[in-house]
Amino acid sequence: MSCSINLKDISYKKDEKILFENISFDLGHKEKIAIIGKNGVGKSTLLKIIAGLKNQNSGTIDIFHNRINKKEDYEKYRDEIAYLPQDIDNFFLSITVIEDVMFSLLALGVKKDEAYKKSLDILKSLDILHLENRVIYDLSGGEKKLVALAAILVKEPKILLLDEPTNNLDEDSEKKLIDILNNIEKSMIIISHQKTFIDSLVTKIYILEEKTLKVY
Ligand SMILES: Nc1ncnc2c1ncn2[C@@H]1O[C@H](COP(=O)(O)OP(=O)(O)OP(=O)(O)O)[C@@H](O)[C@H]1O
Ligand SMILES: [Mg+2]
């Protein structure tokens, strides 16, 4: 099977406390999976390890069948892996919505006109075009979440790592997000507590409990 990510025997402990041991799974090409589990079991920690933001104590991670041995190995995939953190307060780098969504495209060398057009398109697809010139700081929690999603989707990554994407979203926005994510043919790992949300999106659900990851 062609895989986007292969995890093998990942273990992580924090100050002698073992969070999880020997976690293994494969994320197939364009496969969507979910990870559930109680508060504090280590779901976000696992996603940060996969995103290259934390180091595991042991075990291996392969991305597109290439072994990731050190932080620099991630650099090759930086633009292909999009990570939406659970807490997005420190996520934004610009003042206004449109600036923030355009920011990463401009950093990639995309011309300003094209970056603007692509950013408008993505805002439109998330139904938040009306927020274009708003100051991010003033947005509601749910609005911020949608803007953060726009900022990662605009780069057209191949893998999406989404940590509780429906946090703060009302029912309508959640439905919209299900439609959007269902229409995106990319590999995804989604952490969520909302069963109805993940049931309508993923083909496989894992549960993190008792320091291990099991098929739910
Ligand atoms: N930087 C840190 N320093 C100390 N402890 C931490 C740190 N980050 C996480 N932890 C602890 O590690 C454990 C796992 O945290 P994590 O955020 O991965 O859980 P989670 O499964 O995502 O929980 P939730 O459902 O509440 O988001 C928790 O006990 C948390 O307090
Ligand atoms: Mg978490």
CA 147 – CA 101 distance, rounded (Å)? 8
CA–CA distance, 213 with 21 (Å, rounded to integer)? 9
Give 39 Cα–ligand 1 centroid separation in angstroms: 8
Other Cβ atoms closer than 10 A to 47: 23
Share of the chain above pLDDT 90, in %: 80
Is residue 50 within 8 Å of 61, Cβ to Cβ?
yes
Using one digit for the tens of pLDDT, what is the confidence trace for 27-70?
Answer: 999 999 999 999 999 999 999 999 999 999 999 999 999 999 88
Tokens of 98: 């449109």
Q: Which of 19, 39, 45, 84 to mutate to test the pocket of ligand 1 (most atoms within 8 A of CB)?
A: 45
Contact 178, 197 (CB under 8 A): yes
Ligand 1 pocket test, pick from 17, 20, 36, 41 with the greatest ligand atom count within 8 Å of Cβ, gives: 41
Predicted pLDDT of residue 167: 87
Compute the distance from residue 157 Cα to the ligand 1 centre, in Å: 26
What spacing in Å lies between the alpha carbon of 46 and ligand 1's midpoint? 10
Distance 124 CA to ligand 1 centre (A): 34
CATH architecture of 1-80+159-216: 3-Layer(aba) Sandwich (3.40)
**How far is residue 87 from each of residues 17, 21, 155, 207, measured CA to CA in Å?**
23, 25, 20, 21
**CA–CA gap between residue 2 and residue 128 (Å, rounded):** 35
Between strands 3-14 and 17-28, the pairing is antiparallel
Rg (CA), the chain: 17
Write the residue with the smallest CA distance to atom 14 of ligand 1. Answer: 42
60-to-66, 71, 74, 214 alpha-carbon distances in Å:
10, 13, 13, 18
Q: Does the beta carbon of 16 lie inside 6 Å of ligand 1?
A: no
Q: What is the pLDDT of residues 101-115, one digit of tens each?
A: 999 899 989 999 999
Distance CA 118, CA 128 (A): 14
Kindly report the average pLDDT of the chain as a whole number: 94
Q: Which residue has the tokens 């008792």?
A: 210
Q: How much is the pLDDT for 87?
A: 93
User: Residue ranges of the domains in the chain?
Assistant: 1-80+159-216, 94-156
Confidence of residue 7 (pLDDT cuts 50, 70, 90): very high
pLDDT tens for each residue of 165-178: 998 888 988 888 89
